[in-house]
């Protein structure tokens, strides 16, 4: 996997990533124009293109930037329930819309290397560490099944409830606790 680009020392790039994330979540890839991004970030098009070269590259960098750190949440010590609750809560906190909605927008990405970078980031930050956690729990007798299948089930369950905590009058942490309890009772 390519090393992530570090933008922390560039205030404009950080602002573009932050505001781009909000706009892409609200409107999707096709719904956001470069003009709107520039207006929202209070920058010029040349500034945007200086950092990201194209709207497509910006979208890819936004997704990769947003995924950074999820593996650290998954890999923190604790029992299975605590670890799953932490990752579910982090996903609820990190995404306003289900992430599959954003991944579906990858169909509009033309450069194969950009699609590959996003797939590698999802794998490295969420899928591989979560699958390792499921495998560890299976070997410890806490879960039954195939690790990748359980990862998909858990991810799908969490994905289905992103941005729904308010509908159930719960905090993201409370919703994470409910979903993990349901998952564990169904998967054990």
Instruction: Give yes or no for residue 89 having a pLDDT over 70.
Output: yes
Domain 11-64, CATH among 1.10.287.110, 1.10.10.60, 3.40.50.300, 1.20.1440.230: 1.10.10.60
CB count, 10 Å around CB of 56? 15
Find the DSSP H helices in 32-107: 34-41, 45-52, 55-67, 70-75, 80-94, 99-104
52's tokens? 């990201």
Average pLDDT over residues 138-159: 94
Domain ranges of the chain: 11-64, 69-187
Instruction: Give yes or no for residue 78 having a pLDDT over 90.
Output: yes
Specify whether domain 69-187 bears CATH 1.10.10. Answer: no
The whole-angstrom separation of Cα 173 and Cα 171 is 5
137's tokens? 């729990």
* pLDDT confidence band for 124 (50 / 70 / 90): very high
Output the CA–CA distances (angstroms, integers) from residue 79 to 120, 124, 130, in the order listed: 27, 21, 14
Q: What pLDDT does 175 receive?
A: 93
Q: What pLDDT does 12 receive?
A: 83
The structure tokens 């390519």 sit at 2
Structural contact between residues 66 and 137, judged by C-beta atoms closer than 8 angstroms: no
């Amino acid at each position: 996997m390519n090393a992530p680009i570090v933008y922390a020392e560039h205030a404009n790039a950080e602002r573009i990533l932050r505001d781009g994330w909000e706009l892409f979540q609200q409107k999707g890839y096709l719904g956001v124009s470069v003009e709107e991004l520039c207006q929202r970030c209070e920058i010029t098009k040349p500034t945007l293109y200086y950092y990201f070269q194209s709207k497509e590259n910006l979208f890819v960098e936004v997704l990769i930037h947003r995924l950074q750190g999820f593996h650290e949440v998954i890999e923190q010590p604790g029992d299975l329930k605590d670890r799953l609750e932490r990752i579910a809560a982090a996903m609820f906190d990190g995404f306003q819309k289900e992430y599959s909605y954003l991944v579906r927008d990858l169909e509009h990405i033309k450069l194969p290397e950009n699609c590959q970078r996003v797939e590698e980031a999802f794998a490295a930050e969420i899928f591989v560490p979560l699958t390792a956690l499921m495998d560890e729990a299976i070997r410890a007798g806490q879960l039954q099944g195939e690790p990748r299948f359980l990862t998909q089930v858990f991810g799908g369950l969490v994905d289905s409830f992103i941005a729904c905590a308010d509908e159930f009058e719960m905090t993201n942490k409370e919703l994470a606790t409910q979903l993990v309890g349901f998952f564990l009772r169904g998967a054990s």
